[in-house]
Amino acid sequence: MRNLLFEWPGIIYDGRPKRRTAPVLTSPYSLNIPIWQSATHASGLDKDQFRLSLAPKFLLFVSWKVDSMSARVSLREIPSKNIFRKNDVFVLFGELFGRGYANGLVEEARKNGMTILGITVGRRDENNLLRPLTEEELAVAESNLGGRIINIPMMAGFDLDAPPGEPTPTDLLANMTLKSWQTDTLNWEHIEKCRTAGIKRFRDSLDQVMQSLDGMIPDGSNVFFAHTMAGGIPKVKVFLAIANRIYKGQGDRFMSSRALLNSDLGKLILMNFDEVTANTFQYLIEGSARLRTRLEGSGGQARYTAYGYHGTEILIGETYQWQTYTNYTQGYAKMRLERVAETAWDSGIKATVYNCPEIRTNSSDIFVGVELSLFPLLRALNQENGGDWTEAQWKACRDLLQEGATLEELLGKIDHYNASETMQKFRNFEAWPMDNSLELADLMIGTSDSITQMHKDRKALVTDHLSALVLEGTGPLMFYETSAPAGPVIWLNHDIIAKQLVALHCK
Ligand SMILES: NC(=O)c1ccc[n+]([C@@H]2O[C@H](COP(=O)([O-])OP(=O)(O)OC[C@H]3O[C@@H](n4cnc5c(N)ncnc54)[C@H](O)[C@@H]3O)[C@@H](O)[C@H]2O)c1
């Protein structure tokens, strides 16, 4: 039998089962088993005692379950430990945009008096060459971040890289048309050379960034690296048209996400997603090894976080249930990101991917319907006893609707949507990320459109308000959990987000 205690991250990560993150075994039959039970934690058993205390038959049963199901670790209680003090250093690995998730963490770092440092992905000049920010751009970015930015371009991915004088992947894609892309092929040997060139460029720049950071972080400090990078869609006309159909197309305009994944174009895009979304986290962890060793050798600690997405539990009916946006094409890269954190964790590095709820940001706006899972947050706030403050959130949302449209009617549409057979089929954690379907697109995009039409102004949506709340909730949850993280992959669901918001605003 496999040694579950060490091989299955849902039970024990560092030999110390934690009650505040409840690992849950999930199955297509919705069986939920909190695995170690509170007694082991309450009695303070260490890992060997814990192992011995379990009857062999129980372990066999769990082993069988683990083999046939997948594990999720969700934060269930608000964390409060904090190792970060004034003058410790927070490093944002990615740029900060107005509505982006990273704002939540930056805000906590600021509140705790940390020195905030950032990087830039750089900009492309008229010949597509990567350049640092101009003085003016740098000043704007630094004032937005509230800290210094190391001005070395850290654009990830290899869509615009190639050995000198040779075509980039973007050049190759430029020949594809809407008629030809499904049968067009790519020269994979050449693509591999471009990928190698892109990785070398990124890692060389990362070395320079780390040298600068080394001079900025004193011995004994704690450092918090927050990875926020995700993306990698090559900028070619043909993909814009395809994306419009896959993520926004209904009826005759619908296109299957499987068609994309089966094409060479799709395979290239997945490789680029892996580079930007997942591998950069690994490069960050590896590239900062010397700095980490110096800090740890002088009494400090290093922590790494990254933003994941792997579906979210939201209130459906009376219970919190896992659901997801489909088709989340970046899902393969996000699972790779989880593996990066797990591998680092296995060698003693505290790296944690926080799987966060769907919100509307610059990056997610392309996915019409991704916002539908946000509405039940309003009910979660009620469920977590949000009192007058929750009333005020309901009112703020009501005020965004047209005269005659009610929030109850809107939530009724969401109930109908979630109860539909179509959506139930997509609540399949093991099969994630599933391909889209015409039936799904018609229902999801149709519901999204009909809800948007209930608003007074398409530029001021209920989901803007709710996205800002989710972002606010994730900030302290991620910040404090990271002082003593329960494991390498943690889900932040609507229950804990609502609890955190209620704790912030009602006490
Ligand atoms: N929006 C959501 O619903 C959602 C849900 C769960 C997780 N996330 C994750 O949160 C993180 C932040 O995303 P966000 O939605 O707040 O949007 P955002 O647009 O604010 O952030 C995107 C980040 O990716 C970086 N980036 C984009 N292309 C890059 C490239 N080629 N090389 C290097 N960096 C690049 C940007 O600089 C920025 O820091 C991402 O990892 C995203 O996948 C988002």
Evaluate the CA torsion angle 165, 170, 173, 178 in order and state its sign.
negative
CB 287 near ligand 1, within 6 Å: no
Pair of tokens at residue 368: 């019409």
**Amino acid making up residue 440:** L
Q: Which residue CA neighbors atom 5 of ligand 1 most closely? A: 358
CB 428 near ligand 1, within 6 Å: no
Q: At residue 229, what are phi and psi to the nearest 5 degrees? A: -65, 135
Report the residue among 105, 229, 324, 329 best suited for mutation to probe ligand 1: largest number of ligand atoms under 8 A from its CB. Answer: 229
CB 159 near ligand 1, within 6 Å: no
CB 153 near ligand 1, within 6 Å: no
Compute the distance between CA of residue 374 and CA of residue 357 in angstroms, rounded to an integer. Answer: 8
Compute the distance between CA of residue 81 and CA of residue 298 in angstroms, rounded to an integer. Answer: 21
C-alpha dist (Å) from residue 274 to 182, 229, 232, 365, 494: 21, 11, 8, 21, 27
The pLDDT score that the predictor gives to residue 358 is 98
99 CA closest ligand 1 atom index: 20
Burial of 187 (0-12, 13-18, 19+ CB in 10 A): exposed
Compute the distance between CA of residue 356 and CA of residue 490 in angstroms, rounded to an integer. Answer: 9
The Å distance, Cα 430 to ligand 1 centre, comes to 24
Rg for the chain, CA atoms, rounded: 23
CB 275 near ligand 1, within 6 Å: no
432 contacts 64 by C-beta, under 8 angstroms: no
Q: Which residue CA neighbors atom 3 of ligand 1 most closely? A: 358
Residue 92: strand pairing partners: 118, 226
CB 309 near ligand 1, within 6 Å: yes
Pair of tokens at residue 211: 């040298």
The Å distance, Cα 93 to ligand 1 centre, comes to 10
Report the residue among 123, 228, 364, 497 best suited for mutation to probe ligand 1: largest number of ligand atoms under 8 A from its CB. Answer: 228
The Å distance, Cα 334 to ligand 1 centre, comes to 12
Q: Which residue CA neighbors atom 26 of ligand 1 most closely? A: 229
Pair of tokens at residue 384: 């977590």
Compute the distance between CA of residue 65 and CA of residue 69 in angstroms, rounded to an integer. Answer: 6
- Find out whether the peptide bond into 433 is cis, omega within 30 degrees of 0: yes
Q: Which residue CA neighbors atom 29 of ligand 1 most closely? A: 231
Confidence of residue 363 (pLDDT cuts 50, 70, 90): confident
Write the CB contacts of 344 (distance below 8 Å, at least 6 apart in sequence). 282, 285, 304, 351, 488
Write the CB contacts of 236 (distance below 8 Å, at least 6 apart in sequence). 170, 173, 174, 176
Mean pLDDT, all residues of the chain: 89
pLDDT tens digits, residue range 96-141?
A: 999 999 999 999 999 999 999 999 999 999 999 999 999 999 999 9
pLDDT tens digits, residue range 154-204?
A: 999 999 999 999 999 999 999 999 999 999 999 999 999 999 999 999 999
pLDDT tens digits, residue range 468-478?
A: 999 999 999 99
User: Is the full-model pTM beyond 0.75?
Assistant: yes
The Å distance, Cα 383 to ligand 1 centre, comes to 30
The Å distance, Cα 357 to ligand 1 centre, comes to 13
Pair of tokens at residue 114: 């940390």
The pLDDT score that the predictor gives to residue 251 is 95
Burial of 148 (0-12, 13-18, 19+ CB in 10 A): middle
CB 491 near ligand 1, within 6 Å: no
Output b/e per residue, 284-316; b: 16+ Cβ within 10 A: bbebbeebbebbeeeebbbbbbbbbbbbbbbbb
92 CA closest ligand 1 atom index: 39
The Å distance, Cα 394 to ligand 1 centre, comes to 28
| Residue 127 neighbours by CB distance under 10 Å | 5
The pLDDT score that the predictor gives to residue 298 is 98
CB 114 near ligand 1, within 6 Å: no
CB 495 near ligand 1, within 6 Å: no
The pLDDT score that the predictor gives to residue 70 is 56
Which domains occur in the chain, in start order? 4-75 (no CATH), 89-371+467-506 (3.40.50.720)
The three-state secondary structure class of 150 is: strand
Confidence of residue 30 (pLDDT cuts 50, 70, 90): very low
The Å distance, Cα 61 to ligand 1 centre, comes to 40
Model confidence at 311: pLDDT above 90:
yes
Compute the distance between CA of residue 158 and CA of residue 9 in angstroms, rounded to an integer. Answer: 32
The Å distance, Cα 101 to ligand 1 centre, comes to 8
The three-state secondary structure class of 306 is: strand
CB 97 near ligand 1, within 6 Å: yes
232 contacts 121 by C-beta, under 8 angstroms: no
CB 231 near ligand 1, within 6 Å: yes
The Å distance, Cα 144 to ligand 1 centre, comes to 17
223-227 and 89-93 as β-strands: parallel, antiparallel, unpaired?
A: parallel
The Å distance, Cα 331 to ligand 1 centre, comes to 13
The Å distance, Cα 266 to ligand 1 centre, comes to 20
Compute the distance between CA of residue 55 and CA of residue 59 in angstroms, rounded to an integer. Answer: 6
255 contacts 441 by C-beta, under 8 angstroms: no
Confidence of residue 466 (pLDDT cuts 50, 70, 90): very high
| Residue 90 neighbours by CB distance under 10 Å | 24
CB 213 near ligand 1, within 6 Å: no
Model confidence at 8: pLDDT above 70:
no
Model confidence at 7: pLDDT above 70:
no
101 CA closest ligand 1 atom index: 16
Model confidence at 54: pLDDT above 80:
no
477 contacts 355 by C-beta, under 8 angstroms: no
Minimum mean pLDDT among 66-70, 151-155, 256-260: which range? 66-70
For the chain, what's the residue count? 507
Q: Helix 188-216 to helix 280-287 angle, to the nearest 10 degrees?
A: 40
Q: Compute, in degrees rounded to 10, the torsion defined by CA atoms 426, 430, 435, 441.
A: 10
